A and B are shown apart, each in its own frame.
Chain A
Amino acid sequence: MQIDFASSGGFASIELAYRADTNTLLEEQAKELARLVESSGAFDLRQDDLTPNPKAAAGPPDVISYRLSLSEGARQNTLWFNDVTAPASLRPLLEFLRKLALEQKRKGG
């Protein structure tokens, strides 16, 4: 599974990005990512359920904006949302991806 994640904005205005292929990750991380993707239902979420035109929407002040792209075989999905429009089911996955992105920065990535 390929994952491409980015977040920006928020009170601290930190830009984070993380891109990974679960085939090349440590087994433990790959398993956790796969579990969080499945439990979030991220492949099944439709952009229209979140907000009609999220790329252009500025959102309320200081919310973090997110972009999440997933690809696995024939399954693909790309979603844009923010702290207000993000479904609760996606939250554990988002926080895990932000944590991985910060780990990457610590390692100089």
Chain B
Amino acid sequence: MNPRKSYYPCFCTFIPPHILEHMAKASEEVVRESVREAARLSMMQDNQIRTNRANLPVDVATFAGPKPGIMAPPVGTAGREVFNCGHQWGQPPPYMLARGEGDPVTGDDAINATYDAGGAVRDYYKNKLGRNSIDNLGLNQVHNVHFGENYMNAFWDGSQMTYGDGDGMIFSSFTKDPDVIAHELTHGVTQYTAGLIYYGQSGALNESMSDVFGTVIQQAIEGTTADDADWLIGNGIMGPELFGEALRSMKAPGTAYDNYIIGKDPQPDHMTRYYYGASDNQGVHINSGIPNKVFYLVAMDIGTDKAALIWYATLQRLWPNALFGDFAFMVADSARLLTKNGQVPVGTTQTVRAALREVGL
């Protein structure tokens, strides 16, 4: 028996069963087939994740559990569990738990930064949006830091987060910027809500939702407002070689970077410049610039937290193969409903429509 396997309370599938059921009801046959295929492939990926975990090496120390004094939080308490991969290329076994919920500060900056940002994300979703962790059922947050050697990435694998340290030249640790951590955790929230398929327009909406809540939560952490926020994504992880650059700009998509190493920011800021190529799962990180700009424009008008309320309501009303047009309808309608409830100012529906029009939606 693999001890890590028994340690985890939830092995969520990449697309939960209720979403698969929703997909089966798609009206057009072509859409239905493509969605089914994507769902099938995602489930295969999820099976691969499970297989990888099942094949984790087991040694005697594994059975001893984490170091003395380091405790994993009880299941379903939205607790944080930060594991140290120790620069190995794999998910660490239980004894590499470096900081659990309520444990004291460690001597490792990446572990502490992840723990702090994870707490800020949990608190924002709970206190501002009424959501109990990633799945709204108190799922514990599992973070794996110091993944591999010079690994330049962070990702959500369907049940937990993994962060690399970067190469120290182009990128520093991906745990350094809270918007990265909030971005990855929001992929989990999207998985449990709209379930947006990570391909084409639904994938771009998935990415945009992560950028939106990444920047919203970063502003909450920094105490900034829409007016004085930088509206940049990933600027905090740029290493000395590219310091001053960022990975995305929500204010001005397409302007985040331009250099000889990683090239030029390809994000469009309007539907007339929409990317139709095959790269990046048909541009999930590229066309996300369009809905990102809509959020920026709305937040500048009504404030970031109120705009976040509208986007969170929208996220809960979208579905796996939603397109930009579906998003446009739902975000405007969510603004109308929240206006009716007095949660956003009168005139917000019109502000949202004007923002959509400004990007060609």
Contact = CB atoms under 8 A, between A and B. Distances in A.
Nearest to A109: B260
A37 interface: no
A34 B162 CA distance: 29
B309 interface: no
A8 B280 contact: yes
Contact of B155 (A60, A85, A99): A60
A106 interface: yes
Most A CB contacts (10 A, CB to CB) among B37, B88, B89, B199 go to B89
Interface residues of B, number: 52
A1 B174 CA distance: 34
A56 interface: yes
A32 to B, nearest CB: 14
Interface in B149-193: 149-158, 162, 167, 170-171, 174, 180, 183-184, 187, 190
B49 interface: yes
B250 to A, nearest CB: 15
B260 A105 contact: yes
A63 B163 CA distance: 11
Interface string A47-68: 0001111001111111110000
B197 A61 contact: no
Nearest to A64: B153
A92 to B, nearest CB: 8
Interface in A1-37: 8-15
A91 B89 contact: yes
B202 to A, nearest CB: 10
B146 to A, nearest CB: 14
A13 B280 contact: yes
Given A11-B154, A56-B37, A84-B52, A51 B45 contact: yes
A95 interface: yes
B147 to A, nearest CB: 9
A84 B90 CA distance: 9
Interface in B64-111: 88-90
A73 interface: no
Contacts of A63: 153, 155, 157
B350 interface: no
A95 B148 contact: yes
A64 B187 CA distance: 15
A35 to B, nearest CB: 16
B280 A9 contact: yes
Contacts of B197: 58
Interface in B29-54: 37-38, 41-42, 44-45, 48-49, 52
B89 A13 contact: no
Contact of A60 (B152, B157, B170): B157
Given A51-B48, A62-B184, A10 B152 contact: yes
A57 B184 CA distance: 20
B154 A62 contact: yes
B41 A12 contact: no
A102 B241 CA distance: 12
Contact of A12 (B148, B153, B198, B203): B153
Interface of B: 14, 37-38, 41-42, 44-45, 48-49, 52, 88-90, 148-158, 162, 167, 170-171, 174, 180, 183-184, 187, 190, 197-199, 203, 206-207, 210, 234, 247, 260-263, 279-281, 285-286
Given A12-B171, A12-B234, 14 more contacts: A8-B279, A11-B183, A11-B247, A14-B152, A58-B199, A61-B210, A64-B155, A84-B45, A84-B49, A85-B45, A85-B48, A92-B149, A95-B149, A98-B152
19 contacts: A11-B154, A11-B184, A50-B48, A51-B45, A57-B42, A57-B44, A58-B198, A58-B199, A60-B42, A60-B198, A61-B187, A61-B207, A61-B210, A62-B187, A64-B155, A83-B157, A88-B89, A91-B89, A99-B150
Interface of A: 8-15, 50-53, 56-64, 82-85, 88, 91-92, 95, 98-99, 102, 105-106, 108
The 7 A-B residue pairs with the shortest CB-CB distance, nearest first, are A13-B285, A62-B155, A91-B89, A61-B187, A57-B41, A10-B153, A58-B198
